[in-house]
Amino acid sequence: MALQPWRKGIVTRITEETYNTRRYWIQIPELPSFDFTPGQFITFDLPIDEKPARRLRSYSIASWPDGTNTIELVIVLLEGGAGTTYLFNEIKEGAELTLRGPQGVFTLPQSIDTDLMLICTGTGIAPFRSMMHYIQEHQVSHKDIYLIFGTRTQKDLLYFDEIKELASSVEGFHYIPTLSREQWDGCCGYVHPIYEDIIKQKQNGSTELPLMNFMLCGWKVMIDEAKERIQRLGYTKKEIHQELYG
């Protein structure tokens, strides 16, 4: 795919999602429609360093293609992070940003002919939100889809009610949020035992692995451990796809 040119984006709306997470709506006025594939990202060139390579920050698109020229991003403030500190402190509604995109190949398979395990932490939920709305709106045929979203507490569960609603309306879509620092009526702990248990349940005593593809999005520690554990179960690297944050 040819690299897209740098364009002007205008921030049309900002909302506080959690104590350290914001949603940004960005319009690209020179395009009548910003076309992208769910799972792709955009890159900002931010005025935070003299060296061009140190100014670039990439964020997955949290919205889904709707025929407009506005996209949504969900961004967490990183302690000591120059990029997010600039976005949180300097960028207000009406501000202009320089961006390029869409980019990336972390996208749904052309045909979802195996079960799909979507595993994420934090703002890693963004591409999966985009994918699931796309599947719902276009009635994409699929097998079972599991979205395991790991975070610390209930207040960190981005898009919680919205994705619960998706799970109730999209057949075969299973939403499994899990909290590592708080007890509640849902799953507690880390994401890894959850997908391992699902696979064991699907095996139902058989030694044959269920056909499954894995998509991992989040911080490096989670992704590295997930890749190791999934391969230990018997899956190959070809069945594991990742989008690394940070």
pLDDT digits (tens, 9 = 90+) for 165-219: 999 999 999 999 999 999 999 989 999 999 999 999 999 888 899 999 999 999 8
Read off the pLDDT band of 244 (50, 70, 90).
confident
Read off the pLDDT band of 246 (50, 70, 90).
low
Q: What is the pLDDT of residue 1?
A: 57
Question: Cβ(34)–Cβ(103) under 8 Å?
Answer: no
Q: What is the residue-averaged pLDDT of the chain?
A: 95
pLDDT digits (tens, 9 = 90+) for 205-235: 888 999 999 999 998 999 999 999 999 999 9
In the chain, where the domains are located: 7-103, 115-245
Structure tokens at 47: 């005025």
- The whole-angstrom separation of Cα 46 and Cα 194 is 38
- The whole-angstrom separation of Cα 102 and Cα 123 is 18
Q: What is the pLDDT of residue 205?
A: 87
Asked if pLDDT for residue 107 goes beyond 90, the answer is yes
Domains 7-103 and 115-245 agree in fold: no
| Residue found by looking up tokens 């052309």 in the block | 110
Provide mean pLDDT across the span 96-111: 96
Q: What is the pLDDT of residue 245?
A: 77
Q: What is the pLDDT of residue 157?
A: 95
Provide mean pLDDT across the span 137-152: 96
Asked if pLDDT for residue 99 goes beyond 80, the answer is yes
What string of H, E and C letters represents the secondary structure of the chain?
Answer: CCCCCCEEEEEEEEEEEECCEEEEEEECCCCCCCCCCCCCEEEEECCCCCCHHHHEEEEECCCCCCCCCEEEEEEECCCCCHHHHHHHHHCCCCCEEEEEEEECCCCCCCCCCCEEEEEEEHHHHHHHHHHHHHHHHHCCCCCCEEEEEEECCHHHCCCHHHHHHHHHHCCCEEEEEEECCCCCCCEECCCHHHHHHHHHHHHCCCCCCCCEEEEEEEEHHHHHHHHHHHHHHCCCHHHEEEEEEC
Provide mean pLDDT across the span 1-30: 94
Q: What is the pLDDT of residue 146?
A: 98
- The whole-angstrom separation of Cα 106 and Cα 23 is 21
The structure's pTM equals 0.96
Report the CATH superfamily, name and number, of domain 7-103: Translation factors (2.40.30.10)
Residue type present at position 77: L
Q: For residues 56 and 204, which has the higher predicted lDDT (pLDDT)?
A: 56
Provide mean pLDDT across the span 156-173: 96
Asked if pLDDT for residue 15 goes beyond 60, the answer is yes
CATH architecture of 115-245: 3-Layer(aba) Sandwich (3.40)
Read off the pLDDT band of 3 (50, 70, 90).
confident
